[in-house]
Each structure stands twice: as C-alpha cells, then as structure tokens.
Structure 1
Amino acid sequence: MAQGLSKDRMEYFFFGESLPVAPNSNPDGSDNERGRQLNRRCEFELKKDGTADIIFKF
C-alpha cells in the first residue's frame, strides 16, 4: 500500500480454528505443539480484475 497497492486488491484470511491443516491434539489427548504451529497461518491474496492473481501463504 505504501508503494501503490490498492487496498481493494488485497484480502487476508485466518484459518487456524476453522480449517486446521494438522490436529491440535495427539491421539492420547495430549497437546500436539507441531500441529498447533502448522495451524498458525494466514493467507494473503492479491486480486486483479476481481480474481486471485497471487496467493501468499504463511
């Protein structure tokens, strides 16, 4: 945005709780720290003409 990117072209999403990529707990019920690390992510989309042109996943 500081270099000319319009806010209308950018969207961001947070999916940790709603769409986990890994389980937050192990089969025995203990905490799965690695799973929690993988679920701490966000995605940014830069749009061109209303469709996602570039997607960044962190």
Structure 2
Amino acid sequence: MAETLERIARQPGCHGVRTQSWALFQNARSHGYAGQLPQLFYLQKTGHGERLLLAL
C-alpha cells in the first residue's frame, strides 16, 4: 500500500490529479491504512505569456 501511495504522490500536481489523489489517500485511511501518507505536491498555474521564474 505504501508503494502505491508513493507512486500516486509523484503524479503531476494539477488540481484534478491532486483532488483524486487526496480522495485515494482518504480511502486508504478509511480502510485501515495507518502508515504515513506521502506529501502531495502541486503545480502553480500561470497565465499564457507570463515568464516563469526558476528557483535554484
């Protein structure tokens, strides 16, 4: 179960994917999974034509 949840957490962090991933995490908890849940990352949506700034 932990490996599956880790794989889900590495998906792109778009809003829809993040919402579905969180629902799966909650389902795992409701079925007795007691392990630590991985952190969900998200992508910041930008407008068309905006410059992207990369942080090092």
Task: State TM-score, norm by structure 1.
Answer: 0.26
The structure carrying a bigger strand percent of its residues is 1
Relative contact order: is structure 1 or structure 2 higher (C-alpha 8 Å, sep ≥ 6)? 2
Larger helix proportion, structure 1 or 2?
Answer: 2
Higher alpha-carbon Rg:
1
